[in-house]
Structure 1
Amino acid sequence: MTTSVLVAYGTKSGSTAGIAEIIAETLSEQGLRAEARPAREVEEPAEYDAVILGGGLYAGRWHRDARRFARRHQRALAGRPVWLFSSGPLDASASERDIPPVKGVARVADRLDARGHVTFGGCLEEGARGWIARSILKQGRGGDFRDTEQIRAWAQGVAKEVEARQAGG
């Protein structure tokens, strides 16, 4: 039986969704059955063998949909492997060093007994909604700082852990 992995995410402008898609694609390439879905649309995560939950960071807080997913499905996630990711820094820092989770995400990690967390670079490009986003773009601080190779390498590591768990390791 193929192990199924849910990659749920909360996103405002689609950047985090793009990361979730790369993760799901990489897991599928590793032989797992993976799908990326908006966190607000997931009704029953218990049907999955493992869960990856991600959210964009906005003003130091994880996206509302990711926070709500973690709270709403805490019981269903108990006893299954869970990993977390954040996206947000609008510079190369996430590719250069490990960035710890913000306080709220660290609390979620503790509550869900998450196996790991990673912060990936974010993306903010023309057309982004919101006054703050437009202000950041006006200051010339936007861009796409997602590191596809970093995302793929992390997802490959998760796949190895899932496979080892399924094999009884």
Structure 2
Amino acid sequence: MPANVLVAYGTTNGSTAEIAEAIADVLRKDGLTVEARPAQSVASVASYDAVVVGGGLYAGRWQKHARRFLRRHRRELAGRPLWLFSSGPLDASASERDIPPAPGVKKAMARLDAKGHVTFGGCLEEGAKGWVAGMILKNGKGGDFRDFTAIEEWAARIGTELTGGTEKS
């Protein structure tokens, strides 16, 4: 059973970090030692038995720190259980249907033999950084579309796989 799990994330305004923390909390409840960290702060993944990486989606691309994390650690990641998640749609679509990974994430999944990917709804609220974010908010397209029940269920499936346990209902 893997003991140490890293949940690394690339975020611009903090919403992907909150998803990563929710995932880490579920994995801890499964008895795993889990660290949630900004992707750019991780120097090595050598001490982790499994890794979950998430990135916010911006114009169909993962947030830059998440992309760079996969490139920088590709050799170490290739030998570990790896799951990826994206956050981003500013509507209910992620709760209504499975949204495939962005093209760059799909390529990384194949290259690194990732065990899975999921896209969760995003969150963009007043005070968000960036000109584009400001325009989206000005046009009334912001809001919080994250489904924490779905996030926790996905994390529980990872925990079950890592612990060799049975899925909780």
TM-score class normalised by the smaller sequence: over 0.9
Supply the distance in 2 between the matched residues of 1:96 and 1:157 (Cα, whole angstroms). Answer: 19
- Deviation readout 1:42-85 (Å, 9 max, x if unpaired): 01112101000000000110011111110110111122100000
TM-score w.r.t. the length of structure 2 is 0.95
In the other structure, the counterpart of 2:129 is 129
Contact 2:16 2:54 in 1 (8 A): yes
Partner of 1:5: 5
Distance 1:156 1:145 in 2: 20
The answer to whether the 8 A contact 2:15-2:123 is kept is yes
> Identity over aligned residues, as a percent?
65
> How do 1:88-127 residues align onto structure 2 when only pairs under 5 Å count?
88-127=88-127
The answer as to whether partners of 1:2 and 1:31 remain within 8 angstroms in 2 is: no
Aligned to 2:32: 32
CA drift of 1:157 comes to: 0.3
CA contact (8 A) 1:57 1:88 kept: yes
* Residue type of the alignment partner of 1:38: P
Verify: 1:144 aligned to 2:167, yes or no. no
Which residues in structure 2 correspond to 1:63-82 (within 5 Å)?
63-82=63-82
Contact 2:50 2:80 in 1 (8 A): yes
Q: CA separation in 2, counterparts of 1:114 and 1:93?
A: 23
Q: TM-score, normalised by structure 1?
A: 0.95
Mind listing any 5+ residue stretches in structure 2 that lack a counterpart? Answer: none
- What is the aligned-residue RMSD (CA, Å)? 1.2
One-letter amino acid matched to 1:103: P
Q: Which residue of 2 aligns with 1:87?
A: 87
SS at match of 1:86: strand
Please list every run of 5 or more consecutive structure 1 residues that lacks an aligned counterpart in the other structure.
none
Letter in 2 for 1:153: E
1:112-169 Cα offsets, whole Å, 9 max, x none, are: 110000000000000011111011101111000110100000000000111129xxxx
What code does the residue aligned with 2:109 have?
Answer: A
Paired residues of 1:10 and 1:64 also in contact (CA < 8 A): yes
Give the equivalent residue in structure 1 for 2:51: 51
- TM-superposed deviation, 1:3: 1.2
How many residue pairs match? The answer is 165
C-alpha distance in 2, partners of 1:50/1:2?
7
Secondary structure of the structure 1 residue equivalent to 2:109: helix
Q: Is the 8 A contact 2:49 2:80 kept in 1?
A: yes
Secondary structure (helix, strand or coil) at the match of 1:45 reads: coil
